[in-house]
Chain A
Amino acid sequence: MTRMKTIKPLVLLCCFLINSALADEAAMLLKSSMADKNFVTLERVERDALQSFCSKPRSEEGDIETANALRESARAAVPMPTEDDFLGDWQRGEAVANNGRGLQYSDNPEQPNGGNCYACHQLDPDEVAYGTLGPSLTGYGARGQSLSMLEYTWIKLWNTHAYNVCSHMPRFGAAGILSEQQLKDVMAYLLDPRSPVNSGLSP
């Protein structure tokens, strides 16, 4: 029985080392299998700590301490607007939500990036072309505009891993995909009562 208890961690450690060697091999393999294209270079194959941690196949589990540390460092790095400065223009936010371009080697790097929210989320109930990878955000404004709600939404958009490590959503602020102004416009698209996202809510 005691022997079993010592063996199990050893087996786990052994599996971890094999898997991490395999992951390193995969990273090298990918780099040697790709080529720079337009403004997109092989630097993008390099992963940060969060990406490495979140690249595990479903059969492998990450450890909870690392997950907590990643979550906390993500949260600590979020710059917070002042209370009256969270919400931009919902109409500009709508354009950001609809725009799926940006950062692909086929895109024009001179144009602003989109947020591509509709790829994964339902928002305006009249827009039928929405994806289902993320939850529906239709009627999001019903949650109100308390400071905690503003902060929660801002952090979620800036770096989703501050709440849910290994969420599929991009780090729109932390990764520099969207500007602070674009993020404020998306905030308004989600929370402004005049936004079509909230058209189904009674005034």
Chain B
Amino acid sequence: MISWCAGILSSLLLLLAPLWAWAQQDGIFDEYRAMFGDDNPAVFVIDEGEELWFSKAGPNSTSLEGCDLGLGAGVVEGAYAQLPRYFADTDRVQDVESRLEHCMIELQGKTREEIHAKPYSLRGDLGTEMEALVAWLAEQSRGLAIAPGQAHPSERSSYELGEQLFYFRAGPHDFSCATCHGQSGKRIRLQSLPDLTAHEGAAEAYSSWPAYRISQGIVRTMGWRMRDCFRQQRMPELIMGSEAAVALQTYLAVNAAGATMAAPGLKR
């Protein structure tokens, strides 16, 4: 039912394709987005995420209600905004995706292989469980301040490694994250590029993911955004919830700290 609704909405969005070309003009996207009003198609995905959280699944036939996202087992309100953070039980700094993976394995008895088989949608897909869960969890932090952990030494070293990775130039094109996101007021083709090394740019970006991507008809997560940036950097595929994925998100979240979560957002 939910997928069906999302399908209908995606088709409606395709009818808006001519508007799309027009919306590509820099600055006009805000007007285009305003035409949606409060109608972010992500609402269907958020509902699906909620359903998934409370549904019994996996070999253990258990829900995720016992999952500790940092604020205690089952506490979801405000949890997303305080990630990534250090978890004593795994002795790792974790983002929302690696923590969900941990809970799916420990509570539900799922395998790492099945969780990693397809965490993010391919073009034309109607969404994955991971995307829906992340969308719902982000919604539970809407309006709250971004406050990732930085008290534990592992959290601070995650930030430092994230900074190193942000400037890491490699691959045939010598690109790093900083190539596109290290200066303010720049754009690639017509797309504005936030300066993720500064608070303002990091806040704008971090607070708006996960987001419904109109051009792809799907909710995308911050973890996916990291993976896709590396694809564009001509690098291999970033593993969901890996240490590098977490470190980069820690770097962004700390740079964005204090800003207000406004996800799931709506993006071109």
Contact = CB atoms under 8 A, between A and B. Distances in A.
Given A133-B180, A133-B186, A45 B237 contact: no
Contact of A104 (B170, B190, B234): B234
Interface in B189-203: 189-190, 193, 197
B56 interface: no
A50 B170 CA distance: 10
B172 A55 contact: no
Contacts of B230: 34
B173 A170 contact: yes
A34 B226 CA distance: 12
B224 interface: no
Interface residues of A, number: 46
Contacts of B234: 40, 44, 103-104
Contact of A175 (B172, B188, B236): B172
Interface in B173-214: 173-176, 178-180, 182-183, 185-190, 193, 197
B161 A25 contact: yes
Contacts of B169: 47, 51, 54-55
Interface stretch (B106-114, B238-246, B256-264): B238-246
B59 interface: no
A42 to B, nearest CB: 6
Given A26-B168, A29-B161, A33-B243, A170 B174 contact: yes
Contacts of B176: 55
Given A47-B170, A119-B188, A133-B188, A26 B165 contact: yes
A34 B239 contact: yes
B57 interface: no
User: Among the interface residues A29, A30, A42, A46, which one has the most CB atoms of the partner chain B within 10 A?
Assistant: A30
B188 A54 contact: no
Interface in B215-238: 230-232, 234-238
Nearest to A45: B170
User: Among the interface residues B179, B183, B236, which one has the most CB atoms of the partner chain A within 10 A?
Assistant: B236
Contact of A132 (B172, B186, B239): B186
Interface stretch (A65-73, A123-131, A191-199): A123-131
A37 B239 CA distance: 11
> SS class of chain A's interface: helix, strand, loop or mixed?
loop
Contacts of A15: none
A33 B244 contact: yes
A177 B172 contact: yes
A23 B173 contact: no
Contacts of B60: none
Contact of A37 (B173, B183, B237, B242): B237
A105 B167 CA distance: 21
A171 interface: yes
A58 B197 contact: yes
B215 to A, nearest CB: 15
B237 A34 contact: yes
Given A29-B244, A33-B239, A37-B237, A55 B167 contact: yes
B238 A33 contact: yes
B247 interface: yes
B236 A37 contact: yes
Interface in A86-112: 103-106
B232 A104 contact: yes
Contact of A118 (B25, B189, B193, B244): B189
Interface string A175-199: 1110000000000000000000000
A104 to B, nearest CB: 5
Contact of A51 (B160, B170, B238, B245): B170
Contact of B189 (A37, A58, A131, A175): A131
The 5 A-B residue pairs whose C-beta atoms are closest, nearest first, are A33-B244, A33-B242, A26-B164, A37-B237, A170-B173
Interface of B: 24-25, 160-161, 163-176, 178-180, 182-183, 185-190, 193, 197, 230-232, 234-239, 242-245, 247
Given A29-B243, A133-B186, 10 more contacts: A22-B164, A29-B161, A33-B239, A40-B235, A54-B174, A103-B171, A133-B179, A133-B183, A175-B173, A175-B174
